[in-house]
Amino acid sequence: MINKYQNTQTNNIIVAEQSFIDSLSDSQDYVNLGGANPTLEELKAESLRQVIDKSNANYNTFVGKYPSVEGKSFEKKAEEAYRVSADNSIPLAETRYLTDLTGGIDNSTIELRNALADAVNEKTFMMAQLETWGVLKRDEINSCTTIEALEAIVI
């Protein structure tokens, strides 16, 4: 259930579910003011927070499958993979990072590099799907003009 909570230190009031308050490091500073009929804007803010939380959880689950070193170099790999998808005959020397990951300029082949580029592009597509879900939900929430319409949205 969504309630209003006031932070006793800052006097800020937020609308949230109890589980969100419990997740805060300063949860002991919040007092439940009850379900004082939150406004549409307050409910939208809570719904948007839920979308952000779910998006972050989904993203962390996705990237958690890979060692952090792979994530740190993902942008570089994605940039080169995009170039390969535009021209899969591009010389190995022009995609040094992907080429190095497949054995280096002296040991790699275009086929090995292109296979890695395809795998990187698949990850990019999956990340785009995660982002798209969040953007569409955010837009759906922001377009609501009634509480009933907002409550019909599944997050």
The pLDDT tens digits for 114-145 are 999 999 999 999 999 999 999 999 999 999 99
Both 126 and 77 in one domain: the answer is yes
Q: How many Å apart are CA 113 and CA 129, to the nearest integer? A: 24
* The model's pTM: 0.71
Do 54 and 116 belong together in one domain? Answer: yes
Domain of residue 14, residue span: 1-38
Asked if 56 and 26 sit in the same domain, the reply is no
Question: Residue 36: its pLDDT value, please?
Answer: 64
Average pLDDT value over all residues in the chain: 93
Band of pLDDT at residue 53, cut at 50, 70 and 90 = very high
30 in Cβ contact with 8 (< 8 Å): yes
Do residue 25 and residue 45 come from a single domain?
Answer: no
Alpha-carbon span 41 to 89, nearest angstrom: 53
- Verify that 8 and 63 share a domain, yes or no: no
Looking at residue 33, its pLDDT comes to 86
Which tens digits make up the pLDDT trace of 59-108?
A: 999 999 999 999 899 999 999 999 999 999 999 999 999 999 999 999 99
What radius of gyration do the chain's Cα atoms show?
A: 23
Residue 80 shares a structural domain with residue 130: yes
Per-residue CA distances from 52 to 32, 55, 121, 123 (Å)? 23, 5, 24, 21
Residues 28 and 89 in one domain: no
